[in-house]
Amino acid sequence: MLTCGASAEMLMSTNFENAEDGTAYSRPQWQADGFVTGTWDNGLEKRTELTNSCSVSGTKSLKVMYPKGEFGPANSGCQVPLLMEPRPEAYMSYSVRFSENFTWGTSNYGGKLPGLAGGDNCSGLRKCDGTNGWTTRYMWRTGGRIGLYLYDMAHSGVDFQLYHKDGTPVRVRPGEWIHLAQRVKMNSAPTVADGEVQVWANGEEVLFLEGCQFTTNGDKIDKLYISTFHGGDDETWCPIDTCYTYFDDFCVGTTYVDVCQQKCRKPSLGNDVALCHANGPVVLKANLPKEYGLRWYFNGKMLNDNSDELEVKNTGTYVVVADSGRCVTSDTVEVTTQPNLSLPETVNLCSQSFVTLDCGADATADCQWTKDGVVMAGENNSTLLVNAPGVYTVLVSAGECMPAEATTKVTSGLISIADVEGKVGDEVVLTPENEGTYDWYKSLDDAPVNAETYAVKVDEGVNYVYVKDGNGVNGLVGKKALSENMYHRTATEDENVQFVVKRDLTLDSLSVYPSEPMDVVIRITNEDNGLLVFCKTYYDLRGGMEERLPIELNLPKGHYHIDAAGSTGQFFHSHTDADISYPYSIDGVIDITGCGKAWMNKWYLYFYNWRVTSGNYCAAKAIKVSGVQETAHNLVQADDFDIKVTGDELTIDGTKVVSMARLFNANGHAVAVYGKMHNKKMTINLKKFRPGVYMLEVNGDRTTTRKIVIR
């Protein structure tokens, strides 16, 4: 068991922070960062550059280019040996990210990634004879699978697939970082095969090889071999578009502690801020322990300040980089001359009953929300709790700032039913717009009541009742992913997958795995009447990786089949896997029963991980039930209470009679009740409540409600 902790002996490392963006990371730059390079390289000047577009630590990473139509180290990627004192055991790691448009090849899929090496770097399909070196690079393969690409005396470029503990292969997804760590231990004597290779992916051990014989001449581990390119030895290995990898945090050490994936605290500068919000300069705080070393940057230039706080008088982009010794993180904030608001263009209510809109305004700003053009009384905070569709706009002003406005459109898949208001003690009947039988909840912790409508007694203040479709389905069916035991085949019209729809549903999407770049026509036929119900051409599918195809087809009950007629290429499918077993089912909704040709049922053909929805599958709809005390309004006409939040205390002042206050959480449940005021004033300590949005209701001269945000 190897654990991650303080560094023991780092041999060499870089996080690419010491050069300007856009510059090539050539041999002199490697040397400036403390590395000893060999006398040669491939592609460093033409195909590498530092970039601040993404990083794991700090603000920069190394970007490597793989030109369209090129393969091999001379024209793709880059190579350079980084030398070190020979040693019998070493650890190495880095993080790598593949660009979103990355293709694993054209019709052959594979490429190299850096690893440790020794001697003459045996590679290129040469036989390693014990005197010409060895390498333990990685190789990417079809669909982003990652393997150890081993050259030792028993292997000349053999893949050892990396596997997670659950048996699934390690894959990289374009646009996501993966951390790879490697340990190599040399064979102890020239004729002994007792060498080892160990690999971790994102901190999980995914390979442990024993019995390796690397050399007979006493060569040791003497370099980190930066070697990455497409191929392969012909154009079938080329990417179909120019694409990139991003590398960060190369390091070589003597223990796993030196190279393990680090989990560090990030600095937290908070939201972007406007100078006009404050009386004087703005103070930015990193909010980290003293043991972190800090560097501040303003518009890309490092400042002569490494304290936890930075006083800001000018507008621009500020970055703080925090270094714990082996782990570097950063945060960025924009300082502007007016409120810098941010609301998403659209928000959909489905996975949750409520959504909180946060415009990002400073706490001192004056906010006013409107819904569909109507002012929302009492909604004056930077956040707004929403449970209904509409167009929501916030107008923000503060100090000398020019007013700023932001708008978002909230759509909803929740069951459609209006909020209600009634006299306290009355009974109201809740009825959804669409007829049907629903599950009703007084509280989501209670067992549901199944009925078409629901009668509820109106209580004082604001309370919530919930309703959902108990039969709603949003699930996946079919084999999850292409297996290692795969085969490619040209799909034809008479090779199809049969399925039964047991109740009205929507086939939302499914995945296919083209073996090469291609176009494909997907068709769905109703077998009960022979009618073609779906036909769509999907153009420019990439080869060698999963392609998720939107279907978005409503299907009534019946028998159907799906085929991939019209394909310009071949598909991968799972070939005689032990776990292939029809039917694949969602009970009472859909069965995938097999193939059109019964002898093919030992295979799983083409179409993976179907997304199926039926009924209203969204979360419970929260219905606000407001109770009105008519007598309180009729008997006494008085101003609203004076309600203030100062630090951790909430004060209520101004009532003329005995009053009661209640605090409701975002789900409408009362979490605290307070008795009469003392000398017309009540003080409530907010420390014991979790951060969030609450509703405060005060009953006295009149009933008043306010939204309270506890931070």
pLDDT digits (tens, 9 = 90+) for 252-287: 999 998 898 877 777 888 878 777 655 567 889 988
pLDDT surpasses 60 at 546: yes
Query: Is the peptide bond preceding residue 422 cis, with omega within 30 degrees of 0?
Result: no
CA 508 to chain centre: 21
Per-residue pLDDT at 536: 95
pLDDT, tens only, 666-700: 656 666 766 555 556 777 888 777 777 777 877 66
Per-residue pLDDT at 28: 94
Q: Where are the beta strands (DSSP E) in 18-119?
A: 36-37, 48-51, 61-66, 78-87, 89-98, 111-118
For residue 217, the 8-state DSSP code is: S
Identify whether the C-beta of residue 659 lies closer than 8 Å to the C-beta of residue 592: no
Per-residue pLDDT at 1: 45
Per-residue pLDDT at 678: 53
- Taking residue 651's Cβ as centre, other Cβ atoms within 10 Å add up to 14
- Taking residue 494's Cβ as centre, other Cβ atoms within 10 Å add up to 9
Instruction: Tell which wins on pLDDT, 206 or 568.
Output: 206
The C-alpha atoms of residue 222 and residue 212 are separated, in whole angstroms, by: 17
Instruction: Tell which wins on pLDDT, 379 or 151.
Output: 151
Per-residue pLDDT at 287: 84
What is the mean predicted confidence (pLDDT) over 288-304? Answer: 87
**Average per-residue pLDDT for the chain:** 87
Per-residue pLDDT at 657: 55
Instruction: Tell which wins on pLDDT, 396 or 227.
Output: 227
CA distances from 401 to 340, 362, 404 (A): 10, 12, 8
Instruction: Tell which wins on pLDDT, 566 or 74.
Output: 74
The percent of residues in the chain predicted with pLDDT above 90, rounded, is: 56
The percent of residues in the chain predicted with pLDDT above 70, rounded, is: 91
Instruction: Tell which wins on pLDDT, 159 or 397.
Output: 159
The C-alpha atoms of residue 214 and residue 194 are separated, in whole angstroms, by: 9
Rg (CA), the chain: 32
The C-alpha atoms of residue 229 and residue 105 are separated, in whole angstroms, by: 11
Per-residue pLDDT at 655: 58
The C-alpha atoms of residue 13 and residue 184 are separated, in whole angstroms, by: 17
Instruction: Tell which wins on pLDDT, 399 or 66.
Output: 66
Strands 621-628 and 518-526: unpaired
Identify whether the C-beta of residue 326 lies closer than 8 Å to the C-beta of residue 363: no
Identify whether the C-beta of residue 640 lies closer than 8 Å to the C-beta of residue 700: no
Per-residue pLDDT at 502: 97
The C-alpha atoms of residue 189 and residue 382 are separated, in whole angstroms, by: 69
Q: Which pLDDT band holds residue 208 (cuts at 50, 70, 90)?
A: very high
Out of 50-64, 323-337, 418-432, 433-447, pick the least confident: 323-337
Per-residue pLDDT at 174: 92
Per-residue pLDDT at 635: 28
Q: Where are the beta strands (DSSP E) in 67-161?
A: 78-87, 89-98, 111-118, 134-140, 146-152, 155-161
Nearest to 541 by CA among 572, 516, 509: 516
Per-residue pLDDT at 633: 26
The C-alpha atoms of residue 69 and residue 230 are separated, in whole angstroms, by: 10
Per-residue pLDDT at 629: 63
* Terminal Cα-to-Cα distance of the chain (whole angstroms): 41
For residue 574, the 8-state DSSP code is: E
The C-alpha atoms of residue 386 and residue 398 are separated, in whole angstroms, by: 24
Per DSSP, the three-state class of 130 is: coil
Per-residue pLDDT at 634: 28
The reported pTM is 0.65
Per-residue pLDDT at 700: 63
Per-residue pLDDT at 701: 58
What is the mean predicted confidence (pLDDT) over 243-249? Answer: 96
Out of 417-421, 532-536, 554-558, pick the least confident: 417-421
CA 323 to chain centre: 24
For residue 433, the 8-state DSSP code is: S
Contacts of 709 (CB under 8 A, 6+ apart): 381, 382, 383, 692, 693, 694
pLDDT surpasses 60 at 96: yes
Q: What DSSP line would sit under 580-639, residue for residue?
A: --SPEEETTTEEEEEESSGGGGGSB-S-EEEEEEES--S-PEEEEEEEE-HHHHHH---P
Q: Which pLDDT band holds residue 702 (cuts at 50, 70, 90)?
A: low
Out of 49-53, 192-196, 575-579, pick the least confident: 575-579
Per-residue pLDDT at 664: 73
The C-alpha atoms of residue 652 and residue 661 are separated, in whole angstroms, by: 9
Instruction: Tell which wins on pLDDT, 287 or 43.
Output: 43
Per-residue pLDDT at 82: 97
Contacts of 251 (CB under 8 A, 6+ apart): 10, 12, 13, 14, 92, 93, 94, 258, 259
Identify whether the C-beta of residue 337 lies closer than 8 Å to the C-beta of residue 399: no
For residue 29, the 8-state DSSP code is: H
pLDDT surpasses 80 at 661: no
Per-residue pLDDT at 323: 83
Out of 155-169, 316-330, 379-393, pick the least confident: 316-330
Residue 410 host element (H or E): strand 404-412
Q: Which pLDDT band holds residue 711 (cuts at 50, 70, 90)?
A: low
Per-residue pLDDT at 398: 66
Out of 82-91, 187-196, 637-646, pick the least confident: 637-646
Contacts of 54 (CB under 8 A, 6+ apart): 61, 97, 246
pLDDT surpasses 50 at 8: yes
For residue 165, the 8-state DSSP code is: T
Instruction: Tell which wins on pLDDT, 604 or 58.
Output: 604
**Rounded (to 5) percent helix, strand, coil in the chain:** 5, 50, 45
Can you give the three-state secondary structure of 486-534, one letter per residue? EEEECCCCCCEEEEEECCCEEEEEEEECECCCEEEEEEEEECCCCCEEE
Identify whether the C-beta of residue 238 lies closer than 8 Å to the C-beta of residue 87: no
